[in-house]
Amino acid sequence: MGDNYEGWCTIESDPGVFTELIQQIGVKNIQVEELYTLDPSEYNRLGEIYGLIFLFKWMQDKEEKVVSENDNLFFAYQVINNACATQAILSILMNNETIELGEELGNFKSFTKEFPPLMKGEAIGNSDLIRETHNSFSVPDSFIISKKKGKKEEPFHFISYIPFEGKVYELDGLQKGPISLDDCTPENWLEKVTPFIQKRMDKYSQGEIRFNLMAVIKNRSTTLQEKIEKLEKEKVELTSKQSETSTSDEEKSKIKLKLDSIDNEIDTANNEILMEQEKFRNYKEENIRRKHNFLPFILNLIQSLAEKDKLLPLVQKAKDQSQLKQQQSK
């Protein structure tokens, strides 16, 4: 079905790309982080997690999965091949009432609320906002090398995992509907979903199939700032109690230790905010480089070197260095 929707480019699977894509759609206070383990400590480090995205090299799966109908759940069929990453992100954003979608995406959600999955998928394909934002992260055409005849490009696929109305769901646009995996609460849904993701990882590891896992989370700088405000409030209360005449010397000593601990936590949180800000600056720079077409500059440079008779000597120098390395490695 994807071939019926032209004009959707392939984009890189990268947390920086997905984070800025979400921002440009108009969604606030959200970022995407790569997960390297399924350890609870890794979940805790990231703070509030709204959903998980699993990327893997797609292979035909003959396993029949039981579909769970839920009219309140946003589920769309995948009708655009190149949009599966963006659709996986939307599956998480659209199914969490605490996320600020922004005016345009909020209107899109309301407009498509009663649509069946096929029409929801078609609506995504016809959305100028979603398509133009998605395509703004495409690789410049000049760098897309034509595939050799007979060689198929490896198809990659994205699926989402979310908590919704007391259940953990797997949302896969290639399935007939949402898959209910287990009962859950907002507090334990990650614990409940982990075995299902681990099973997939084990399966693909045995077949040497590439995969990775990303989390859609609350903006970490916002989370850290909220933590600092909470600590500052606790600090004021403890300082007030410390100054009371009725407080014993022993209690004052304990309060001092607690205040020192709070100061250390605040310093750590402030340092983490600085690291997050630096990371976002790097994301922005990397995305600018991704979008820029460097080919005209490269061609002009080669032409200039050729005109000055410097190109061939540089080529010969590169060949000599390559041969020298090969000899040294023997």
CA distance linking residue 262 with residue 241, whole number of Å: 15
Residue with the two structure tokens 């993701």: 197
The string of DSSP letters for 98-129 reads TS---HHHHHHHHHHTT--HHHHHHHHHH-HH
Nearest of 9, 284, 298 to residue 144 by alpha carbon: 9
Q: Which residues pair with 168 in a beta bridge?
A: 163, 182
Amino acid making up residue 104? E
Q: Which amino acids are annotated catalytic? A: 84, 157
Q: Are 163 and 186 in contact (CB under 8 A)?
A: yes
Helix (H, G, I), strand (E, B) or coil at 187: coil
Amino acid making up residue 80? I
Give 155's DSSP letter: P
Based on its alpha-carbon atoms, the radius of gyration of the chain, rounded to whole angstroms, reads 26
